[in-house]
Amino acid sequence: MRWSQTHVPTLREDPADADAVSHRLLVRAGFIRQLMAGHYMLLPLAVRVRAKIIDVIRQEMNRIGGQELLLPAMHPAEMWRRSGRWEAMGEELFRVRDRKGADIALGMTHEEAFTTLALELRSYRDLPQVWYQFQTKFRDEPRPRSGLVRVREFTMKDSYSFDLDAAGLDRAFDLHHQAYVRSFERLGIPAIPVRASSGQMGGSASVEFACPSEAGEDLVVRCRGCGYAANVEKATSALPAAQDGPGPPAPQPFDTPGVRTIEDLAAGHQAPADRQVKTLVYVLDGQPTLVLLRGDHSLVDQKLFDATGATEVRPAHPEEIRDALGASAGSLGAVGVEDLPVVADEALRGRRDLFTGANVDDVHLRGVDVDRDIRVGRWADLREVGAGEPCPACGRPLEVLRAIEVGHIFKLGSRYAEAFGLTVLGPDGGAVMPVMGSYGIGVERAMAAVVECHHDDAGIVWPVAVAPFVVDLVALDPGDPQVAEAVVALKDRLEAAGLDVLIDDRDQRPGVKFRDAELVGFPFRVTVGARELANGRVELVRRDTGERQTMVVGAVADRVLELAGPAATSSLA
Ligand SMILES: Nc1ncnc2c1ncn2[C@@H]1O[C@H](COP(=O)(O)OP(=O)(O)O)[C@@H](O)[C@H]1O
Ligand SMILES: [Mg+2]
Ligand SMILES: [Zn+2]
């Protein structure tokens, strides 16, 4: 292809509205343009990167026995009602109505659709199945951001496994795990598999693939010692045992005028935050509930979902708090509370001689013994792990990283099979309900993640496997017939070696061409100029190291192949 005939609108300046590096560089290097918030137009170079990403994932999915299908993006509402998700998905699910008045969902994921297809499976002999597709997903995200990282319309590779029993599901899950590790490795995304919450839709296990990046929206907890890694929504740590004294025989009220926060109480009343009980009031599926944490710990909302199974969770309004406890936030506590459910974080188990609010404005209690004084209905891990806390597996200090979730694999179990009445005939003639898994990779998000991990001050540095073109062939004097001829001959030779080549034949100064080549990020630049060509030589420059060498024309293809490795020849047709 020729640059002069390809739409690559590079910009001299950074776009003003771009926060993430990948957003800034993909816009500036002429890969994407925004149509509206959360919806991007992919320009020719981005289409090529996307195709290469899809190719890598497709190969790895085929390798584990996946079959490629393509299901519609528009779904009858009935199907989503059947799973309960027409209601549960709330505003994230785009809904439209057709001319006959029928409700239609724009697919944000395809469990319902694939389960519907699976209703035709008859016998245990039809299992296992691994079905996958590349399909556009629509999600009415509350906050689309960071360019391609969080959008409202994107391509997902989603797959669904159907197995006869739990052991089969374990196998399908492990195979996907391997396929994801290999895919991300080939794509140049340093993704870490981390334990994750299974989310509101249940399921028994889930692993996210987290790419460390400042543009990430997730926090990942990791131990460099033993490899423990978990999303902060799921992570735990080993806390040192508390050294509590026995305290008084009963809690003692004391006046705390003006005290509103954990810090106020700590500063004014010798009540260290780790000796306080923090009392939060949440409404779980309509039921006001007390949520207790150590004063210096924060609540992870997802853990509250996971621990209680509630589908709707929100902090109580001030009036609801006063109705429930007779005091305002600042003086709340659970001592003596009999009529409200109490959920407490594990870190409070067995603690004695603590401080908490007295449910009277401007009064607190000291000497609280959790087991003796508080009726805890449910113990759960609710707190957010902080950097430096000891690893739950080996005790070494944990680190906390910001990361982009690039993939997610779930064991779903039989939830959808149950909702849809999916059964097959078992070996002994009885009906068996298949167990399912679901697995997703966001294609355009993967593109953003690659850029987040591969760039420098001058622009993008594409890994060979996903580069829009592997070689940028720059004609320095495009008007010179000898140069033009040599460029075409070299292009033919490189393409015959399996490399894809863009010829920069634009009528531009060399400085502009070189700067654009760096900004766009082609792994190799070969420069053909009249002067060197007179000696039969051209220049080869590597984008990642900046290394340059002049060589005879005939040696270029082999040299590029040698430097780039096998990934260089998986070029697009
Ligand atoms: N809004 C989005 N924009 C771009 N990619 C997304 C978006 N939401 C999800 N993805 C991609 O799809 C994959 C599977 O999504 P899933 O786990 O179902 O979504 P979520 O974690 O947002 O509930 C994610 O790992 C991510 O790569
Ligand atoms: Mg996810
Ligand atoms: Zn560890």
Q: Please report, in tens digits, the pLDDT of each residue of the chain (573 residues total).
A: 999 999 999 999 999 888 899 999 999 999 999 999 999 999 999 999 999 999 999 999 999 999 999 999 999 999 999 999 999 899 999 999 999 999 999 999 999 999 999 999 999 999 999 999 999 999 999 999 899 999 999 999 999 999 999 999 999 999 999 999 999 999 999 999 999 988 766 677 999 999 999 999 999 999 999 999 999 999 999 998 888 999 999 999 999 999 999 999 999 999 999 999 999 999 999 999 999 999 999 999 999 999 998 888 999 999 999 999 999 889 999 999 999 999 999 999 999 999 999 999 999 999 999 999 999 999 999 999 999 999 999 999 999 999 999 999 999 999 999 999 999 999 999 999 999 999 999 999 999 999 999 999 999 999 999 999 999 999 998 889 999 999 999 999 999 999 999 999 999 999 999 999 999 999 999 999 999 999 999 999 999 999 999 999 999 999 999 999 888 886 564
Instruction: Supply the pLDDT for residue 132.
Output: 98
DSSP assignment letter at 79: H
Ligand 2 centroid distance, CA of 230 (Å):
13
Verify whether ligand 1 is closer than 6 Å to residue 405 (CB atom): yes
pTM of this prediction exceeds 0.85: yes
| Residue of minimum CA distance from atom 15 in ligand 1 | 440
Atom from ligand 1 closest to the CA of residue 158: 14
Structure tokens at 10: 């590079």
Q: 313-315 and 277-284: which strand pairing?
A: antiparallel
Ligand 1 atom 7: residue of nearest CA: 150
Quick one: pLDDT at residue 570? Answer: 66
Q: Give the Cα separation of 351 and 379 in Å (integer).
A: 13
Contact 136, 155 (CB under 8 A): yes
pLDDT at 569: 80
Which atom belonging to ligand 1 lies closest to the Cα atom of 152? 1
* Rounded distance from Cα 442 to ligand 1 centre (Å): 6
- CA of 89, nearest ligand number: 1
In angstroms, how far apart are the furthest CA atoms of the chain? 99
- Please enumerate in sequence order all residues whose Cβ is within 8 A of that of 384, keeping only pairs 6 or more positions apart, or say none: 232, 297, 298, 299, 300
Q: How far is the CA of 34 from the centre of ligand 1 (A)?
A: 19
Atom of ligand 1 nearest to the CA of 144: 1
- Give yes or no for residue 408 CB within 6 A of ligand 1: yes
- Report CA(239)–ligand 3 centroid distance (Å): 13
Q: Which of ligand 1's atoms lies nearest the C-alpha of 156?
A: 12
Q: Are 442 and 141 in contact (CB under 8 A)?
A: no
Q: Please tell me the distance between residue 146's alpha carbon and the centre of ligand 2 in angstroms.
A: 17
**Closest ligand 1 atom to the C-alpha of 109?**
18
Q: Which domains does the chain have, with CATH numbers?
A: 17-218+404-452 (3.30.930.10), 252-380 (3.90.960.10), 460-569 (3.40.50.800)
By three-state DSSP, how is residue 259 classified? coil
Q: Where are the alpha helices (DSSP H) in 326-373?
A: 370-373
* Backbone dihedral angles phi then psi of residue 459, each to the nearest 5 degrees: 150, -155
Question: Does the beta carbon of 89 sit less than 6 angstroms from any atom of ligand 1?
Answer: no
440 lines ligand 1 (CB under 6 A): yes
